Structure formats: structure tokens, C-alpha cells
Amino acid sequence: MDLGLAGKVAIVGGASQGIGAAIAAALAAEGARLVMWARRDPALAEAAERIRAATGAEIATVLGDVRRAEDHEKVVGTALTRFGQIDVLINNDGAPPLGLLMEFDDDAWQRAVAQNLLSVVRLSRLCVPSMRERRWGRIVNITAVSAKSPIAGFGLSVATWAGLIGFSKTLSREIGRDGITINTICPGRIDTDLSQRAFRRQAEIAGRPLEDVVAEAMERIPLRRIGRPEEIAAVVAFLASERAGYLTGTTIQVDGGSTESLL
């Protein structure tokens, strides 16, 4: 299936590893030109080189912190200077620290809001004008299933990503007339370093053995396995494509069936 992404310009956050790197690889395989950005080097440069070697894609890399407004401007400026346009924005990063909500101070909350919500607000504000020029654009946000089905200890992410879902739904109603869609993906347990750290922190908070926490999580997944970053990337590639032009304002869990609610 041709997704119609050849020649499109995509910004991918958190692209040095895990889900972000898998998304960048999937878009590059479809012929997109990329701006990959993340905080860590040489991991970012190495991920870009692997993708470039495998796909021949044109790739620019930017080191930046998702919480810093000036880094958002640097990323978008790089895309416009190097490629002259922005068609796809993938908002992806890690997550705020795990812990009990009553233990976090104002600074922790402010960092979480900056990471999970304000970063998307700023990047969308910077990218939408370029999308409007061509009356075509795709914004995809990566959150987690905890945003739809809260988990104790994940409160900073739950609260800020819930705000992000509200922002995205509202924005979808405001920019749809410009041919721009915005959707949110809620991954479940995915085989990444971040997920492994989350398991360990959950075990610490609960005072339980790590293997018990992992086994309990697996028991709640109908497919009885952890997902792969490439499985998230495949959904993102579709949402970023020409084929998904009538899909906007949605929040989609990709979690092996673990979410128990109807909506």
C-alpha cells in the first residue's frame, strides 16, 4: 500500500531510540524526509545513520530538550531551512518521573506540563502555518494507555496527557478545514528501555518483586505479550499518511487489548 508519504517532511521527536526511532524508520521507508530530534548524542546520530543507510532517506538531526521553547524553534527552523516545508509532526518523548502524586512539588508539576503538554502546544503552533500553506498536514501525539486508564504512580503523565488529549481534540475542530489532522496514540506495554524502567519503578512504589509486577501486567494483556516499537510505528505511519485523511480528533490505544473500558 502506498501511503503517499514520498517527499513529505516529517519532524520526529524522541528519535534516538525506542518508539521514536521506530517511527522515524517507518516514515523514512515510505520516502519521507526527516528531522529527527532528541536530547542524547551519539544515540541520535547513530539512529539517523542506521535509518539513512537502510532507506537512503534525507535526514537532518537536532539536539534539543522537549521542555525548552528555544529548542522547539530550532527544530522547526531546521526543517524549514533544510527542506522548505513541514508536513508531518510527531510529538514523542519519554515521560515524567513515576511516583505518588502527593509527593511531587510544584517544580515537578511544571516540568511535567512543559514536557507533555506545552511542548505539543508550541510545536503545533510553529508547524501549522507551514501545513496551512499547502492545506495538508498531519500531527500525531504519542502518550500512553495510562492517559485513558489511570495507573497509580503514573499521575504526572496521566494528568498532563489528559490535558493533551483535550488540546488535540479541540485543535482538530479548529484546523480540520485546512486539511490538517491531529490524532493521539496511547501505547500499552512496549519493549523499550523506558518501559523497563517503568516496571522497576512500579515495583519500588508497590514494594513488590519486579517479576511479580511484570507477570501481573502480562496477565492483563489479552495477547499475552509486550508490544514492539515497530507496531506503534506502523500505526503512526498510517495516521501520518494520505490514507488517513478522514481520521482526526481520535485517541487510539495500541495495547494488545489491555484497556478494559469501552471508550
Chain segment 63-82, per-residue pLDDT in tens = 999 999 999 999 999 999 99
pLDDT tens digits in sequence order for the chain, 263 residues long: 899 999 999 999 999 999 999 999 999 999 999 999 999 999 999 999 999 999 999 999 999 999 999 999 999 999 999 999 999 999 999 899 999 999 999 999 999 999 999 999 999 999 999 999 999 999 999 999 999 999 888 999 999 999 999 999 999 999 999 999 999 999 999 988 877 887 888 888 888 998 888 888 888 899 999 999 999 999 999 999 999 999 999 999 999 999 888 77
pLDDT value of position 214: 84
Question: pTM for this one?
Answer: 0.94
In a 3-state reduction of DSSP, which class is residue 8? Answer: coil
CA 37 to chain centre: 12
Q: What is the DSSP track for 50-72? A: HHHHHH---EEEEE--TT-HHHH
Cell numbers standing for residue 187? 501505547
Q: Count of CB atoms within 10 A of residue 53's CB?
A: 9
Nearest CA among 261, 133, 245, 260 for reference residue 183: 245
For residue range 202-242, list pLDDT tens digits in order: 888 888 998 888 888 888 899 999 999 999 999 999 999 99
DSSP state of 97: P
**Fold type of domain 9-190+228-254:** Rossmann fold (3.40.50)
Domain ranges (residues) in the chain: 9-190+228-254
Whole-Å CA distances, 138 to 48, 164, 172 = 22, 16, 10
Nearest CA among 176, 141, 178 for reference residue 247: 176
**What gap in Å lies between CA 204 and CA 76, rounded to an integer?**
39
pLDDT value of position 262: 78
Whole-Å CA distances, 44 to 70, 120, 197, 233 = 19, 20, 20, 17
Nearest CA among 3, 13, 7, 1 for reference residue 139: 13
Look at phi and psi of residue 29 and say left if phi exceeds 0, alpha if psi is from -120 to 50, else beta: alpha
Nearest CA among 93, 110, 88 for reference residue 6: 88
H/E run at residue 191? none
Q: Where are the alpha helices (DSSP H) in 84-228?
A: 106-113, 119-134, 155-175, 193-206, 210-219
